[in-house]
Amino acid sequence: MSKFTTGFNALDIMNTIKNIKGDYDSIMYALHHENEEKFVNKMAGVWATKRAIKFFKLYKDDIDSLTKRVADLTDVAIKGINEDGKRWASTTENDYTPVTYTLSPNKLNVSNIKDNIDGDAGIYESEALSIVQNLTIVKEHVVLGLDNGIKHVNSSGFLGQGQSDELIAAFTKLKDIVERQFNEISEAATRIVKEEVKTYGDRGSKISFEI
């Protein structure tokens, strides 16, 4: 980062883009790989009903929508940084080559969720409620990625110009949305699991834990 309070530093800008892209990748890893590994696929082994399929269809929609918002914001951030880099370079008679990047947002895979396992429909309450807690891990890792995005925008080459203010506000707003949305999903999942137990009873070990 430049020692000046205002000014142009091409390396700062390029490093900021690299860091923000890295933050994006870590968020995508949490939203998809960790989400599927720690929540979706584990839940598939202990909850198999028609309502499970409905729940996870809505959950997939929520995560896919959130994924798009993260990708869109990251795209806006990087494009903005590249454009300002070119403008500042021109104004100060410096050189700046825009950083190329690719964002590849994935879709959450919930295909392991079934309405029965070997003909047995039901739920294992204690295991299901325990697995719901894993949503906190996913949420925390997504929030960490957004916090890092805020940090990297704030420490970028936008010195004394105020260009980073809107980006920081947007990242902060998205972080608030993530925290609220995951909290609401966790509460809903806990409530539905308990309602399913009333419908089916606690199936215990009758449902396999293996996918």
End-to-end CA distance of the chain: 49
Q: Which residues of the chain have pLDDT under 70?
A: 1-9, 157-163, 201-211
The β-bridge partners of 117 are 120
- Residues 149-195 pLDDT 10s: 999 888 776 544 566 788 888 899 999 999 999 999 999 999 999 99
Q: Residue 122 is inside which H or E element, if any?
A: strand 122-123
Task: Tell me, yes or no, whether 29 lies in a domain.
Answer: yes
Residue 1 in any domain: the answer is no
d(CA 7, CA 4): 6
Give the pLDDT score at 124: 92
CA distance 123 to 47: 4
Backbone phi, then psi, for 47, in 5-degree steps?
A: -145, 110
- Which residues on neighbouring strands pair with residue 48, listed in sequence order? 122
pTM attached to this predicted model: 0.86
From 156, 211, 179, select the one nearest 15 (Cα to Cα).
156
- List residues bridging with 120 in a β-sheet: 117
Total residues belonging to the chain: 211
Please identify which residue in the block is written with the tokens 């979706």: 40
* 5 part of a folded domain: no
Task: Please tell me the total count of domains within the chain.
Answer: 1
Residue 174: which domain range?
10-206
Q: In this structure, what token pair is assigned to residue 165?
A: 């203010």
Is residue 75, in this structure, part of any structural domain at all? yes
CA distance 56 to 93: 54
194 belongs to a structural domain: yes
In this structure, is residue 3 part of a structural domain? no
Note whether residue 81 is domain-resident. yes
With respect to residue 188, please indicate whether it lies within any of the assigned structural domains: yes
